[in-house]
Structure 1
Amino acid sequence: MISPSNSSVKGCLLNSVYYIQTGDLSNLPLLCHYPVKAQYMSEDPSYLTCGKKECRKRLAGKCLVETCGGAVTFHVINFRTDVEFVFFAGGFDTPCVLGRSDPVPFANPSMPLNGHLSSLDSTATSMRLTWVSGDNNPQQVQYGEGKTATSQVTTFTQADMCSSSLLPSPAKDFGWHDPGYIHSAVMTGLQPSQTYYYRYGSDLVGWSSRIEFKTPPAAGSEELHFLIYGDMGKAPLDPSVEHYIQPGSISVVAAMAKEIGAGSVDSIFHIGDISYATGFLVEWDYFLHLITPLASHVSYMTAIGNHERDYVDSGSVYITPDSGEHDWTSNSEQYQWIQNDLSSVDRTRTPWLIFAGHRPMYSSYSSILPNVDAKFVKSVEPLLLTYEVDLVFFGHVHNYERTCAVYGGECKGMPKKDKNGVDTYDNSNYTAPVHVVVGTGGFVLDSFSHNPKSWSLSRFSEFGYATVRATRNDLLLEFLSSNTSEVLDRFHIVKPEAK
């Protein structure tokens, strides 16, 4: 399946380099333009056995030429440009085109789609809604009791894509796809911890369905419930092969959608490695389609990963993010920003201080390339101790791992079991932050070393996500398997309420 419909379907063997460059070693048809999806006809068993015969030429009542038919099904979403279906032989490495369909247009390529919410400040009285459309005219979001907000519209071109002269990004050529137009509008006059409805679009191009959403609690309020994970990506909802399939993403989204449907979740935090599009732009459309059941209902905040800021404080929690993809050394702008942000937190207002990023400071997983940058740890970890950060979240490594209260590679504090047998860290006498790696959002999982470090207390190589419930003196984290909904790890951090 190709798009746009005028894409080249000649074989380009060297395009395998584009996939390897991004870390994707999957087997895909080496056409001169990225095929959005591909399937072998063997997905239909009757094709190989010629179970669906059709006579193409008859003479004197006898069939002289028979063909064997088959069918495959593609899950297609509205990514605005016409689609063609190409039938080829010769395998993926040396594709030889036998036929191609006529262009198949979408009924409404300008349809507004994939609305997602984000928080703007700690008051929770405004929310930003962002969506995509094939229409460059301003549209509206209609919300609450007769309120409206008009969208700001932007887009980007191939010339805007970053690249390398030695090995150009696929986005410059092979992987480019028209992104459409990005619409963004701010809903104001909201109240924290309330439920509203909205729709977005215009009379000209159509409207989304009526969608329910929830504002997060304001900073300083008693409770907050959020979900957090990293390294999600997307996977096909059909038997297709496509660029960078993350097999766990579908089950993780489905499990979190159930939690959101129950109405208790305030926000979601996705800490890096978001879509894994890595220069293949149509994959962003599929990713945004995948997370719409989440991001259209609650605030969906992200941090930068290595395949692609400031979080606002909410409830009793303040979250400071970092970007491991930018300079974090002591003289850098980011280091100064992190230091200023951590030092500015009013712990009487938001007693819990969380630091979140992508590349971890502690991980038991070992690979050819190091997962922990010792220079990053040396530079930034002292800030966590100085400002008494309670909890640290990272992704990048595709498993779940929890530490003791750790600093400098040594346990400074150990949890004790409460009356229910749950690990509990007592921060009334602060020692060091607890680190949690939760890169379990969908990418192929990483295994653990057989000789874990002494600071590693809990380890699971399972797809899932963490859910955090925080009051002013108790923070409960649970790590849930997305396949079974089983709670695999659970712990508390407690502290007396600040005066």
Structure 2
Amino acid sequence: MERGLKASILLATIVCASVSTAKSECTDKTAPMQMRLAYAGDRGMTVSWNTYSKLDHPSVRYGLHPDSLDRKAVSDVSVTYPTSTTYNNHVKINGLKPDTLYYYQPQCGNSSQIYSMKTARPVGDSTPFTIAVAGDMGLIGPDGLTTTTGPNGGTAPLGPGDNNTIQSMESLKSEWDFFWHPGDIAYADYWLKEEAQGFLPNYTVADGQALYEKFLNEYFDEMTALTADRPYMVGPGNHDSNCDNGGTTSNGVAYNISICPVGQTNFTGFRNHYRMPSQESSGVENFWYSFNHGMVHFIQLNTETDIGGGFVAPDEPGGSEGMNSGPFGSYPNEQLDWLKNDLESVDRSKTPWVIAAVHRPWYVSAKNTSGSICTICKDVFEPLLVEYGVDLVMQAHTHYYERNQPLNNYVIDPAGLNNPQSPWYITSAAPGHYDGLDSLVRPLKPYVVYAQDTAYGWSKITFHNCSHMTHEFVASRNNTILDTATLFKDRKCEPGTGGDDGGDDTCEI
């Protein structure tokens, strides 16, 4: 199955066609839902959605005006997996103008529902922009984070009247270009824990297969408010691996991955639901890849499998959580070799900022249990991040917010945020899910500048120019800024917008 999945990722056929639609073939089972976007190189966008039935040739109509969707892109990627109740449809549209607003409609879409999407800013564009970042966001609502929890459940339920993180991000959506989610998506694997803690009554282990898929579908339904018109860039986390996070104890019985049916192991849902720009950046599936947006080069790394270099990742066989997932590369050092090649290829005159995201942190005020502090990841990735002058590393996994100093091998950069030579580390993993927030381990590490474990929130990162970048932590409940800091890099900024904004869509109709 995995070979077939990888082939479907690489061999999608994209064509342009007439804009006629076969309305007679549209039924309730082919109606689109759970819309989501992802950048596909500097001039592309992947449109993804789900249907209850397979589409022979998923298609998307699009154009520069909502009343004139005069172009059409078609693929052959409509995939599912054992246990899934839906099909994932993926259509990549190439040859788009950069930094341009398009309108689109997926196959069998409601004629009154036209979505919009804005392509990536051209490489070298010095126009300021903002992105949203948060790891570890799960289902919000009756089956996830809510104002109540089960016995021994979440430690921080939502307060009465609080906005949740999806609502907060939606209310400020005009301020950010895309959402970056470095791992732990939906927390569908929490069905057994919620049942064991009495939050979900009258369910059994036998119900798990259906509950897992139910949670996934509810999450994607919720996220459509954000992802239908903003790219949703994701990375792998431990809760995306299998059906019960490697093991859960219920009523005194310890369960492990053996209860997970085929389809709910080895990151199968994660691999089917998304199409990240790995093909464009020579990465591997949704696990590691990079992309450009204006004056920034973004890198997503995989801390769950394929660490390579003779190390064992926390989730590989022999790791700390028994995930039994991966590897996904073709040889042990592939991700590390890819990272080196990717960093070497960055033209800092066009993309002066280089930002990386990881799921598991290595600089964080947490107990070093179950891979919470990934020293293996540090040993493998940090030397390259330092050598090539990566500016910022966004971390997740521990469910709170922590802003650190720039660091290299545990040593605080004496420059602080005033032109440091070491990467700046921030952990932003407090958007919320059933289990609430974690508690910081005090006393905090000596490199911590600000940390909090009482408010749900997410990160806004603004790139002002080639030398100044500001990070803000937004409290979801009321959109207040709880923490802000600006990084300065001593670089000469050239005015103008690098990149070519000509060359319209390659397929003329």
The corresponding residue for 1:465 is 458
The corresponding residue for 2:76 is 152
Say whether 1:453 aligns with 2:385: no
* Cα distance in structure 2, aligned partners of 1:378 and 1:367: 15
The alpha-carbon distance between structure 1 residues 250 and 143, as it changes in their structure 2 partners (threshold 3 A), is: farther
The corresponding residue for 2:312 is none
Say whether 1:130 aligns with 2:34: no
The alpha-carbon distance between structure 1 residues 241 and 491, as it changes in their structure 2 partners (threshold 3 A), is: closer
Say whether 1:188 aligns with 2:99: no
**Scaled by the length of structure 1, what TM-score is found?**
0.67
* Cα distance in structure 2, aligned partners of 1:237 and 1:281: 15
Q: Could you tell me how far 1:241 is from its partner in structure 2?
A: 8.6
Say whether 1:256 aligns with 2:166: no
Per-residue CA deviation, residues 98-156 of structure 1 (Å, 9 max, x unaligned), is xxxxxxxxx934321111110011x2x22110001123233432211411122433323
Segments of 4+ in structure 1 off by > 3 A? 205-208, 237-242, 244-250, 367-370
Task: Output aligned runs, 1:83-232, within 5 Å.
Answer: 108-121=28-41, 123=42, 125-137=43-55, 138-144=57-63, 145=68, 146-158=70-82, 176=83, 178-202=84-108, 209-222=113-126, 223-232=128-137
The alpha-carbon distance between structure 1 residues 250 and 114, as it changes in their structure 2 partners (threshold 3 A), is: farther
* Cα distance in structure 2, aligned partners of 1:468 and 1:387: 21
* Cα distance in structure 1, aligned partners of 2:48 and 2:112: 13
Per-residue CA deviation, residues 433-486 of structure 1 (Å, 9 max, x unaligned), is 110000112131111123111111110122111111112221111111001211
Task: Output aligned runs, 1:218-367, within 5 Å.
Answer: 218-222=122-126, 223-237=128-142, 251-260=164-173, 262=174, 264-278=175-189, 280-308=212-240, 309-330=288-309, 332-366=333-367
Say whether 1:490 aligns with 2:484: yes
The corresponding residue for 2:430 is 440
The alpha-carbon distance between structure 1 residues 439 and 128, as it changes in their structure 2 partners (threshold 3 A), is: same
| 2:185–2:239 CA contact under 8 A, matched in 1 | yes
Richer in helix (by share): 2
SS in structure 2 opposite 1:385?
helix
The corresponding residue for 1:431 is 421
* Cα distance in structure 2, aligned partners of 1:297 and 1:110: 21
Amino acid at match of 1:128: T
SS in structure 1 opposite 2:350?
coil
SS in structure 2 opposite 1:468?
strand
Q: Could you tell me how far 1:306 is from its partner in structure 2?
A: 0.7
Amino acid at match of 2:86: G
SS in structure 2 opposite 1:307?
helix
* Cα distance in structure 1, aligned partners of 2:370 and 2:48: 36
Q: Could you tell me how far 1:431 is from its partner in structure 2?
A: 2.3
* Cα distance in structure 2, aligned partners of 1:414 and 1:311: 28
The alpha-carbon distance between structure 1 residues 247 and 497, as it changes in their structure 2 partners (threshold 3 A), is: farther
Task: List runs of 5+ in structure 1 lacking aligned partners.
Answer: 1-106, 159-175, 416-424
The corresponding residue for 2:472 is 478
Amino acid at match of 1:155: V
> Greater relative contact order (Cα 8 A, min sep 6): structure 1 or 2?
2
The number of aligned residues is 357
* Cα distance in structure 2, aligned partners of 1:472 and 1:351: 6
Amino acid at match of 1:196: Y
The alpha-carbon distance between structure 1 residues 199 and 247, as it changes in their structure 2 partners (threshold 3 A), is: farther
SS in structure 1 opposite 2:38?
strand
* Cα distance in structure 2, aligned partners of 1:236 and 1:109: 25
Richer in strand (by share): 1
Amino acid at match of 1:253: I
The alpha-carbon distance between structure 1 residues 151 and 115, as it changes in their structure 2 partners (threshold 3 A), is: farther
SS in structure 1 opposite 2:138?
coil
Which shifted more, 404-413 or 183-192? 183-192
SS in structure 2 opposite 1:154?
strand
* Cα distance in structure 2, aligned partners of 1:300 and 1:181: 19
Per-residue CA deviation, residues 401-436 of structure 1 (Å, 9 max, x unaligned), is 111111111212353xxxxxxxxx122xx4211100
The alpha-carbon distance between structure 1 residues 367 and 379, as it changes in their structure 2 partners (threshold 3 A), is: closer
The alpha-carbon distance between structure 1 residues 275 and 191, as it changes in their structure 2 partners (threshold 3 A), is: same
* Cα distance in structure 1, aligned partners of 2:34 and 2:396: 25
Please identify the structure whose Cα radius of gyration is greater: 1
| 2:163–2:477 CA contact under 8 A, matched in 1 | no
Q: Could you tell me how far 1:498 is from its partner in structure 2?
A: 6.2
* Cα distance in structure 2, aligned partners of 1:336 and 1:498: 31
Task: List runs of 5+ in structure 2 lacking aligned partners.
Answer: 1-26, 190-208, 241-287, 310-331, 495-509
| 2:168–2:478 CA contact under 8 A, matched in 1 | no
**Scaled by the length of structure 2, what TM-score is found?**
0.66
SS in structure 1 opposite 2:238?
coil
The corresponding residue for 2:505 is none
* Cα distance in structure 2, aligned partners of 1:108 and 1:189: 32
SS in structure 2 opposite 1:225?
strand
Per-residue CA deviation, residues 69-91 of structure 1 (Å, 9 max, x unaligned), is xxxxxxxxxxxxxxxxxxxxxxx
| 1:141–1:151 CA contact under 8 A, matched in 2 | no
Q: Could you tell me how far 1:179 is from its partner in structure 2?
A: 2.9
| 2:366–2:373 CA contact under 8 A, matched in 1 | no
Say whether 1:404 aligns with 2:309: no
Per-residue CA deviation, residues 307-338 of structure 1 (Å, 9 max, x unaligned), is 11313111111111211111223361111111
The alpha-carbon distance between structure 1 residues 216 and 250, as it changes in their structure 2 partners (threshold 3 A), is: farther
